[in-house]
Chain A
């Protein structure tokens, strides 16, 4: 299958636009990407896109980049994947470098420092609110509540690092399902 330059350009534009004009993370980018990929450029069906968008959220990694990679690879192979991935991240990379340089020029006190401190505080509140939003989707039973609390306590109050907590939670999920299936099978008999 040969992909035209026009398709690569469309891939780059879609993800560049989503990456440049959405704030507060990749999750917010998905609806914007959907509109372009499915409706405007008609690169794939809505069903395909929604499946990729869901997978992008369950797989590890940067959500917007996962989505860009799925769409890019499906539409334009490995080069399409790289082009879409570059589009999704290039403006964050460049603007963040500029912001980090400018950060050093924010005065230590005065109204500008106060405004920036206010923004820091509000942003940390939004992280808490992200936990609530995700909790509504991700926690479906007591086992989930238990895992959430355990992960929170381990990361907050012990030296156990977050990657280990993630792997242990995955292992716990696996064991829980194994036990549940064996129990269900016994009940059936």
Chain B
């Protein structure tokens, strides 16, 4: 068990240390690592839903969730400390060298590559998580190409695209959309 706690600490430390672009960008790293702790894609979709219902930073929510499923309360604690530690260490260093950091060309050009890549990572996380909830049980991505209508939830896809467009195009309030999606789901997805 001690080994599991240590693994959670190290894995989430790495996610925190390389997680450029905030919680959503960390998601694709967390998806990768979650399989090591035998988290199913359905459980992962539940985590995304809980992010909307439980307040606070997404990466903290994710570390707590995966840590708890893998190792109970102590698992959750070690995973959460793991994802927090890099922030403390990096900020102490940056504040010590802040003048040099601001004008550091190497750091700035490094970040100019990382920032667009973070967008790609977030999009990949969105597609991975969405396909987990939208594909019907037993259907795979290749089945989707062969028989699109037979392997995907129609109502689910409608909710997905309406929520995405309402939020991206019309800036609709995510909390309101979450409540609406819950109501529609209660009637049409049960």
| Nearest chain B residue, comparing its CB with the CB of A65 | B87
B143 within 8 A of A: no
Give the A-B pair count, Cβ closer than 8 A: 370
Q: Which of A19, A113, A173 contacts B110 (CB 8 A)?
A: A173
A156 within 8 A of B: yes
A5 within 8 A of B: no
**Could you give 15 example pairs across A and B, Cβ below 8 Å?**
A22-B56, A60-B16, A60-B19, A89-B80, A96-B60, A96-B61, A96-B76, A118-B184, A119-B49, A124-B133, A135-B116, A148-B116, A155-B121, A163-B14, A170-B113
**Within 8 Å CB of A133, what residues of B?**
168
CA gap between A115 and B18 in the complex, in Å? 35
Residues of B within 8 A of A (CB): 14-25, 27-29, 32, 45-46, 48-61, 64-65, 68-69, 73, 76-77, 80, 83-84, 86-88, 90-92, 94-95, 105-106, 108-130, 132-134, 156, 159-161, 163-164, 167-168, 174-175, 177-178, 180-190
Q: Which of B29, B76, B126, B180 contacts A162 (CB 8 A)?
A: B29
| Nearest chain B residue, comparing its CB with the CB of A26 | B57
The reply to whether B185 and A119 contact each other, CB–CB distance below 8 Å, is yes
Which residue of B24, B46, B91, B175 has the most chain A CB atoms within 10 A of its CB atom?
Answer: B91
Contacts A24-B58, A134-B119 known; 12 new A-B pairs at CB < 8 A? A22-B56, A82-B88, A93-B56, A121-B181, A122-B163, A125-B167, A126-B164, A127-B27, A128-B127, A134-B118, A166-B118, A174-B106
**Within 8 Å CB of B182, what residues of A?**
115-116, 118-119, 122
A3 within 8 A of B: no
Given contacts A89-B60, A132-B168, A155-B124, contact A21 B116 (CB under 8 A): no
The 6 tightest CB contacts between A and B, nearest first, are A173-B113, A118-B185, A92-B56, A151-B120, A114-B190, A169-B117
CA gap between A174 and B106 in the complex, in Å? 7
Tell me the smallest distance from the CB of A98 to a CB of chain B, in Å: 8
Interface of B is mostly: helix
The reply to whether B123 and A152 contact each other, CB–CB distance below 8 Å, is yes
**Within 8 Å CB of A93, what residues of B?**
56, 60, 64, 76-77, 80
Residues of A within 8 A of B (CB): 19-27, 29, 55, 57-66, 69-70, 73-74, 78, 81-82, 85, 88-89, 91-93, 95-97, 99-100, 103, 109-135, 138-139, 143-145, 147-153, 155-156, 161-163, 165-167, 169-174, 176-178
